[in-house]
Each structure stands twice: as structure tokens, then as C-alpha cells.
Chains A and B, each alone.
Chain A
Amino acid sequence: MAQKMMVSVKFLGMQRVVTKKDSVNIPITGEMTVKDILEFVKNLYPDLTLDEEMLFVTVNQEKASLDRLLSADDTVSFLPHISGG
């Protein structure tokens, strides 16, 4: 039986408070994008305030677009914009 492909979504800051988790593993199939994962997480945690236009996405610590295709074991973060006070 083929092993499921998974990606990990890391929760930081207020996201961790809402989800009460450091991360969640999400199975991916076929050609799934960051946007698909974002929608999945929003459905899983409706209290999370994840607004596309206010987010900065990284995949494996590198900047990524919402239409980026995901691979097995990728780590996704949905971050706020930070400009340093």
C-alpha cells in the first residue's frame, strides 16, 4: 500500500493560541497548491484569521506564492508581514 504524502503546516504566534498546536500534518494528493492547503486549514480551524491578502507564505522557509505546487514533506507557514518597528 502506498504511503500517504503529507505536508506540515507550522503554527506561530496567535495561530498556536487558536489551534493549541505547533503544527498540523495534512495529507496531499496529486497537484495540490499552497492555496488548497490554506483553504483546508481555514476549514479545519474556522477561528484562525487567515486572510490571503495579509499573509506572507513560506514553504521550507522560503517565500512562496499561493499557486505553488506542494511536494511530500514540505513545511508551510502562513506568516504576517514584518517590517521591524
Chain B
Amino acid sequence: MEILKQIRYEPAQVTGGYTDQLLEIDLSKLQITIQDLSPDFKNKYIGGRGYALKLIWDGTSRETRYDSPENILVMASGPLGNEPSFPGTGKFIVGTISPLTDTFIDSNVGGHFGPLLKLAGFDALAVSGIASADSVIVIDGDLRTISIIAAPAYDKEIDEGSLSFGKRLLEDINDGEYSDSLAAVTTGKGACNARFGIINSLFFDRKRNRIRAKQAGRGGTGTVMRTKGLRGIVVHSSLSKANGNNAVDKEGVRRAGSRLREVISKADPKQLHLSAWGTTILSEYMNKFHLFPINNYQYGQSSESPKLFAGVFLDRYFTKNMPDGCYYGCNLACSKSSENVELTRGPYAGQKVSIDGPEYETVGAVSCMGIFDPHFVLEYNWYCDEYGLDTISTGTTIAFFMECFERGFLTADDIGYKLTFGNMDAVDRLLHEIANAKGFGKVAGQGVARGKKWVAEKYAARNGISQDAALVELSKFAMEVKGLEFSMYVTKESLAQQGGYGFALKGPQHDESWLIFIDQIHKELPTFEDKANALKWFPLIRTWFNATGLCKLPWIDVRNPEAANTDEPAKNLPTLAYYVDYFNATTGSNKTLKDILDDSERLYILQKLINLRHGKGTRVSDQIPLRAMGPVYFNEYESRAEYYDGWLREQLGDSEVPAAPEKKHELLVKKRIEAYQQLCDIVYEEKGFSSDGIPKRETVEKFGLLDEQAGKLLQGFGM
């Protein structure tokens, strides 16, 4: 391998969850630098997302775009990542300026990369610059070297695929053998050609004796990676993973982990049973309550949905009775896998492949395109991973164009073929076109926000109307906010989750808040104030998980039986207490849950400041498409007319509800729009923002974030 730059270093030991070292690599200058991080840095920014936010706040400007050399691709675990005696500690964050949203995006991903990076001596890796030729970074804690090497060339097929290239790279770097002392991140050619490129996190699974992959899927982090000319990063450390954080109170860590493991082992088999089904179990429950996206979120339920329920994947594809965690020590083990699946479509038709998944979101992406074929889900999953494309954004984008075609905004001439809901051949064709930047794939690869402008131009020219008028109509069902495509939940009947998507700082991804059940089904948030409280509390605690290197599922998707005896069972506070204990035992601090929420709020406000700086931080950027609030078109209203009429009667009383169905539909839409605006007002107040969604000066000051840049920024907004 051709070494372009190499340094020797002494890996810092992990103490209390931190190495206090940052690895900075500038690919333009071939510069490798190790920075000490001050105690103040970790105390204020925790780790993971917090580190990414601070590095990007300081190191980029309002002019920075995803492809600017100064854009930084940050990867960081957190103080609680890498502890096999506590479930769910394999997570790390990839943060950068997004090609979709033009502001900060982060995506959390499991696997071994984050833990191994820490064992190799680094709390975070920050890559800037653009390589003059495709490169790979190798961080070798055993050899004590950090290298930038020329990306090896194998053959075209391997080199273009994220999974294929990553597997070969891991083999190559370790003398032909896989090892769980190595992990890699890679992406594929799709990330070169679409804005929603992903980063695969590859690790060796001893039980399956193969390389597996998890994905940092949202916001185009893979696109940034490829734009930098970075084909892969390999990290190597054979230090013991046990007690990897060198916790201050090892017995405290063991005790907290043991309690969480016990809850999981007792409760998961009686609840979602994620250990058996993975997240595919959600399809059935989402469908039951009209939350499963069908035909670009027009509907939330279909008679065909059972073809995509978990039992189908378990019977036909998933390996049974094999715990499938993405990191050691997780007894939730929800990371299901399908082996020896024969591809029937695309350039690799006839090959048998192993597929890590599907997850619920991928299943939902396929139903969103009106397809209910489980084998298609598997193939779609594999090709997206291999190409390095986000299954969510790809599905939401294609579904949008399908609706454009079906409603006459696009023609077969525009696309090159008939892109109808449920048309597997058309989706198959478009998926490969996106990955290869061919035909209509060049348009679709830009995502929904840019795609709708392209459609508006075509439609306006053809019909003699203004582009603005066309755009207004298209925006009603273009499922994006801030430039990011929606993840896979229908929010029409949950005002709280409309806010959960609309206020989410990165765009409509559910990892900031998922309030549908407690709002729509449990009815635990009856007032605007209740919703606003939840829309503050849940994003803060979820942000903390993304800052510490933890998976949220053992907390949020396994309800501790003791939570039933608390005032707010949905917060699952008895389990959260284990996490607070785990944090304190690892780091030697003495924090309460309130302290943790305050720490998290600092990160939340910092992310809001970055959004403001990049033009995505005010009220207008929190607006959601009408499709997310209710039935845009009459066919949607008709499909649940009885329900919607009941909703109107409940809101207005019998006498105020008009008789004509068209008038009822009109009134319903009006009421939904009014409700969302009212929610904005109350949520901004709750969060300490102005009515335009801008953090008040005192809010920023309270968290020690009022530096010179923040002061000028707020001044520019009249704050």
C-alpha cells in the first residue's frame, strides 16, 4: 500500500471514559495532528454529538457547504461507549455540514468503530480538506501509527461498493484475516452521485464469521466522505474491550449494567421482543394505528401491509435463535441479519448475499413506494448499503416523484418511464440510476427539496403557470423539512409528532423525539402545554444518548415494569436512573438527571445556533408539509372520512361541521394548520426562544455559549 503520510504516536489510555485526545486530519495538506482536549471541553460538550457540534461551530462558517474543503467530518463515540458490561455501548456519531440541509447533521451508528477508535487513543476524529486522490486513513493503535494511504484498487466491482470495498480493505490490512480488533467505515459510488450517501460501519462478527455493517444513514454523511476523496477509515486496537473505559467506579458500572440487562431480559420478551424480530416488529403496530407510510404518506394502513410484517422476515429470512448485537454485551441484540439471499434484480442478479437487516425504516421506505414484496425489501436494503445510499431518503424521494407522476406533475417523458406506486421494476431501475447518476437518477439523487424545484420548473413551463405556484402545490406533499426527507412515520393524527419532526434540528428524523403513541394513542399529552413539555424533554434526553456513545433502544423501547408506578411512565425514569448511575460510575461525577438534561440543553442550543448561522434556524425552517398535518387531497380524506368527521365534531361540536364532504375536508385542513402554528408559539416559549424560533440571548448565555460568534449572530437577528 502506498503511504502518503504517516506519523507515530503513543495511544492515550482511556480513563473515566475519556482519552482527552482529538485526532485531526487535513486531507488537503496531508496533515495529521493530535490535540489535547481540556477538562472544560469534555465537561461542556460531553462527547459524540457535542464534540461534533463544537468542532463544527468553531471550525466552519456560514459559507461552509458540504463540499467546502473546511467542512469537517467528525466521528466520535462518547464517555459511555465501549463497555461490554452495559448494553448498547457500540454507538458513535458522524457529524458534518449536510449536502441535504446545508447545516449540521449527525447520524448515530452502531458497530465496533467508535469503541476501537477510543481504545486506539481518541475521543474523536475530525477530518477536513479534500484529498488530491482517493485515500484511506488507517489508525493503528497496536503499531502506534496513523497513516493516510492511497486507496487500494482491487477491481471495479469491489472498488465501487461500500460493503465489498470495506470487507476487502479489512482483510487486506490484517494480512488476509478478519479480526474483531479492526473496524472500518466506508461508502460506495452512490454517495458520489447522490446527496443522501451513507457511511457503513463495518465490523467482524465472530458468531457469523463475517463482516457485518450498520449504517450512519441520515443527511448525506457518506456524500461528504466521498467528496473529501475519503474511501475508508480503518481503526485497529487489540486492547481488551472489557472495562474499556477504565471506569472510576468499576463496581458501580457493573451494578448499573446488571440492572439494565435484567430489565431487558425480563421485559423485552413480554413487550416488543426486539431480540427475536428486530425493529421490523414495528410495521404491524404502525399499520394498526395508521402510522405505516403508504404511497408517499398518503395512507397509514393497507390490506397488503401484512406481507411486510415481522413474522414474514423471521420465517423467510432472519437467522433464528441467534443473538445479534452490534456490540459486545448488549442482550437486546436487535440487529437482525439475513443470510444467503439471492438477488434477482440489478447488476448482481444471481449472486447470494448476506444482508444486515432489514430494519423497520427500510421496510417503511418500501411500503412508502407502494411495494409490499418482502424479497424486494431485502434487495433494496442490500443495494442501498452496497451503493452507500440512505434507504430512508431514497424511498421518500422516489415516493415523492411517484406521486408527482401520478398527479400529472411529471410525465413519462420527464422520467424516461412510468414511475407509478407499487412499480417494482421502475423503482429498481431508478435505484441503480441514482447510484450511477444516470437518466432521471441525476435528479432523484438530489433529494426531495431540490427535486421539487426541478418538478416545479418542468410543470410550470408545460402548463403556463408560475414556478412559485407549482412549488406551493408540490410542497404540500414533498416530505422534507430543512432539506431532509421524513423518516417512516405518518404524523397526520399526532400534533406532538408533527412538532417532533418540524422542530427536530437536523430535520424530520425520529431520533430527536417520537411522541406518536403517547400523544395519539395513549392520549397522555392532551394540552398544547403537555405537548410542548414533551417536545422539550424528549429531545434533550435523546441528545444526551447521542453525546455519550449509547444506544437509546434499551431505554426507550423496553419499558421498565417499575415505570408503571411513576407519574410519567413514557419517560421510563426507573431505567434512566441506571444510565445516570452508569455515567457517574464511569466518569466519577455526581450528576443528577436534571444536571444531565442541562448539559444536553447546552448542546441543543449550540445546534440551534449552527442552524441559525446556516439559515435553517427560524420559524420558517420548522414548517412541515401539509401532508404531515392531515389529508392533502380528497382521496386521503375519503379513506378515513368517518374518522376525520368525528375529529371535526370533537373539536367544533356537531353544529359547526358542514355537511358537504369537500367542505369538511377544507375545514379539517384549516384547523390542522392553525393547530401547528399554535404549537410553534407554545413550544418556542417553552424552549426559551422568540416567537420566530430564535434562542433568546439569556438562553444562550445561561449555557455559556455566548461567544463572539454567537453574540454577532444573535445581534443579526435583532436579539
Contacts and interface: CB of A to CB of B under 8 A. Distances in A.
Interface string A59-85: 001010000000000000101111111
A63 B522 contact: yes
Interface in A14-72: 14, 16-17, 49-51, 53-54, 56, 58, 61, 63
B489 A84 contact: yes
A12 B284 contact: yes
Contacts of B279: 85
B270 A49 contact: yes
Interface stretch (B412-420, B552-560, B584-592): B552-560
A6 B556 CA distance: 36
Interface string B510-525: 1100111110011100
Contacts of B564: 53-54
B273 interface: yes
Contacts of B270: 49-51, 54, 80
B269 interface: yes
Contacts of A85: 279, 282, 360, 510-511, 514, 552-553, 556-557
Contacts of B553: 85
Contacts of B277: 13-14
B588 to A, nearest CB: 31
B559 A54 contact: yes
B334 to A, nearest CB: 9
A84 to B, nearest CB: 3
B289 interface: yes
Contact of A84 (B281, B311, B514): B514
Interface in B494-535: 510-511, 514-518, 521-523
Interface residues of B, number: 39
Contacts of A77: 288
A63 B517 CA distance: 10
B273 A83 contact: no
A20 to B, nearest CB: 11
Contact of B289 (A14, A16, A49, A61): A61
B267 A54 contact: yes
A14 B522 contact: no
Contacts of B289: 61
A58 B272 contact: no
Nearest to B553: A85
Contacts of A79: 285
B576 interface: no
A81 B559 contact: yes
Contacts of B515: 84
B556 A12 contact: no
B561 A51 contact: yes
A14 B273 contact: yes
A13 B489 contact: no
A52 B126 CA distance: 49
Contacts of B137: none
B285 A82 contact: yes
A58 B523 CA distance: 12
A17 B311 CA distance: 8
B523 A63 contact: yes
Contacts of A58: 521
Contact of A83 (B281, B311, B514, B523): B514
B561 A56 contact: no
Contact of B288 (A12, A17, A63, A84): A12
A12 B285 contact: yes
Contacts of B517: 81-84
Given A61-B289, A85-B552, A80 B272 contact: yes
Given A54-B271, A63-B523, A84-B516, 16 more contacts: A12-B288, A13-B277, A14-B269, A14-B276, A51-B270, A54-B561, A81-B271, A81-B570, A82-B272, A82-B517, A83-B570, A83-B572, A84-B556, A85-B282, A85-B510, A85-B514
17 contacts: A13-B273, A17-B311, A50-B270, A54-B267, A54-B561, A61-B288, A63-B521, A63-B522, A80-B270, A80-B273, A82-B282, A83-B556, A84-B514, A84-B516, A85-B282, A85-B511, A85-B553
Interface of B: 267, 269-273, 276-277, 279, 281-282, 284-285, 288-289, 310-311, 360, 489, 510-511, 514-518, 521-523, 552-553, 556-557, 559, 561, 564, 569-570, 572
For the complex of A and B, 10 pairs with smallest distance between CB atoms: A84-B514, A80-B271, A81-B559, A49-B270, A83-B556, A53-B561, A53-B564, A51-B270, A80-B272, A14-B273
